[in-house]
Amino acid sequence: MLVLVAPGQGAQTPGFLTPWLDLPGAADRIAAWSDAIGLDLAHYGTQADADAIRDTAVAQPLLVAAGLLSAAALGDITPGAVAGHSVGEITAAAYAGVITEDDALGLVRTRGLAMADAAAVTETGMAALLGGDPDVTVPHLEKLGLTPANVNGAGQIVAAGTLEQLAALQEDKPEGVRKVVALKVAGAFHTEHMAPAVTRLEEAAAGLTVADPRLTYVSNRDGKAVTTGADVISRLVGQVANPVRWDLCMETFKELGVTALVEVCPGGTLTGLAKRALPGVKTLAVKTPDDLDAARALVAEHS
């Protein structure tokens, strides 16, 4: 059984969209989405520097556009399940047929702008903790006033909070944590700092036409397989201010009998976690169109 997954913010790198625009029809799709949401995705995906695409309002639509473009390039496939990390859940929702691709781009544009505005209120950020025991790490983070915003499994937890709190973490690491790495994001996502964005997303979601997922959709709120479109959307709205539990998603992949995982563009982060947490599961990260043939072969082998 194959699961198709979509990465979250921080996976973007300068120029990563460039080779994808050479695929038939890709430039036209990106241009149409750009016009619809008022953001030049081609420019940001091919010419903008790292600081420009770090902007939450830019990064999120760019990631969803790239994810949908690369998933479509795989052809007519039917994975056993889909999931997304953070903003990648919007990519997964569109792929599962819960919302249209156009609505996904509109929703993620609203999400990015709302979260950017929320992040501007207080200087906040996120940092990945490598190593350590969650039973030790989580209470330590809470003692410092930080939130375990992403519990990613494979020995990785992402802390979020104010810059002062993150600086204190660098000086006072939890026992067993080897390293604290600042992430290239512009705010403390999936924490109470993002609460103002929830209301704006609720308003945007109210105008969507929603269908039940045509594929098994695994939610990163709690790793549960969600069966109704209404529940998917409710979770998409609430997740901006609540922790991502990717560890629980991977536990569900095990329970479903997943044997292979393909991560859509810009792949790498989630396949890295799967290699450590899902031994025996074959993984493939789609980074450029050169990876498509290998991805199709893996899909055929595990469908």
The 10 Å Cβ neighbour count of residue 270 is 28
Q: Are strands 81-84 and 282-285 parallel, antiparallel or unpaired?
A: unpaired
Q: Which residues contact 32 (CB under 8 A, 6 or more apart)?
A: none
| Phi (first) and psi of residue 17, to 5 degrees | -80, -15
Catalytic one of 85, 86, 140, 193: 86
Q: Compute the distance between CA of residue 234 and CA of residue 261 in angstroms, rounded to an integer.
A: 26
Q: Compute the distance between CA of residue 212 and CA of residue 12 in angstroms, rounded to an integer.
A: 29
The 10 Å Cβ neighbour count of residue 2 is 24
Catalytic one of 190, 193, 219, 302: 190
Q: Are strands 2-6 and 260-263 parallel, antiparallel or unpaired?
A: parallel
Q: Is 86 part of the annotated catalytic residue set?
A: yes
Q: Which residues are catalytic?
A: 86, 190
